[in-house]
Structure 1
Amino acid sequence: MSLLDGILKNIGGAPDDVANLAEKVGIDPAMAEKAIAVLGQTHQMEGDTVELASSKTGLDTGVLSQIVEQIGGEGSLTSFASMLDKDGDGSPLDDIADMASGFFGKK
């Protein structure tokens, strides 16, 4: 189970895991994880969250909007960002990479 699976299980109405979310919106689970992380990051930035995430991931804004809806709306993105941004630098991506490195024994 990924970190994001655990977070999704704690959000009421969200899919049980990233694989289910990915299936619902029609993308690969790895891309769904990346999209959720980027949405959490861009939610903290100035501008439209979905449009900024689209430019960073290459995913269509419609798909990203579906992901936001599936995980509980824009309010839930703050939860994702704060849970994933362990070092408080405003970017959860480096923290996710560090966690992944730890899972594979590279840290």
Structure 2
Amino acid sequence: MSIFDQILGAAHNHPTVKNMADKLGIDQATAERAIAALTEGHQASGDTVEVAQQKSGLDANILTQVMEHVGGEGSLGAFMQILDQDHDGNPLNDIAGMAGNLFGKK
């Protein structure tokens, strides 16, 4: 499972993401895809929005609005912290754990 898919799964039905979607006037599924793509794009080399657009197929304007809503590119890490359930500074292990639990692995 890719990082995009793991983040997308963790963001699914998250109240913070739903609130953001409502404020921006987009559906929650689009907001979830935008967050996952922007978070992955933030970690990749290159322009965050361009990488996110290539990954998600979402319009660059929507991605830019989402990024600005969360406080800019530097704030994308905040969404990773929201997903960091054990607060160890590494949300990817929590996301991987969530994905493992979905498939009955521990």
1:40 paired residue number: 39
Question: Higher helix share goes to which structure?
Answer: 2
Distance of 2:42 and 2:100 partners within structure 1: 25
Classify the secondary structure of the residue corresponding to 1:85: helix
Please report the RMSD computed on the Cα atoms of aligned residues, expressed in angstroms: 3.0
* TM-score relative to the length of structure 1: 0.62
2:71 paired residue number: 72
Classify the secondary structure of the residue corresponding to 1:86: helix
Q: Within 5 Å, give how 1:13-52 maps onto structure 2.
A: 17-52=16-51
Confirm or deny that 1:85 pairs with 2:92: yes
Percent identity over the alignment?
45
8 Å contact 1:39–1:50 — kept in the other structure?
A: yes
Deviations 1:54-91 (A, max 9, x none): 1111110000000001111111113334644227xxxx
Gaps of 5+ in 1: 8-15, 88-94
* TM-score relative to the length of structure 2: 0.63
Classify the secondary structure of the residue corresponding to 2:30: helix
- AA at the equivalent of 2:30: M
Distance of 1:40 and 1:53 partners within structure 2: 8
1:99 paired residue number: 98
Gaps of 5+ in 2: 1-8, 85-90
Distance 1:100 1:33, change over 3 A: farther
- AA at the equivalent of 1:85: L
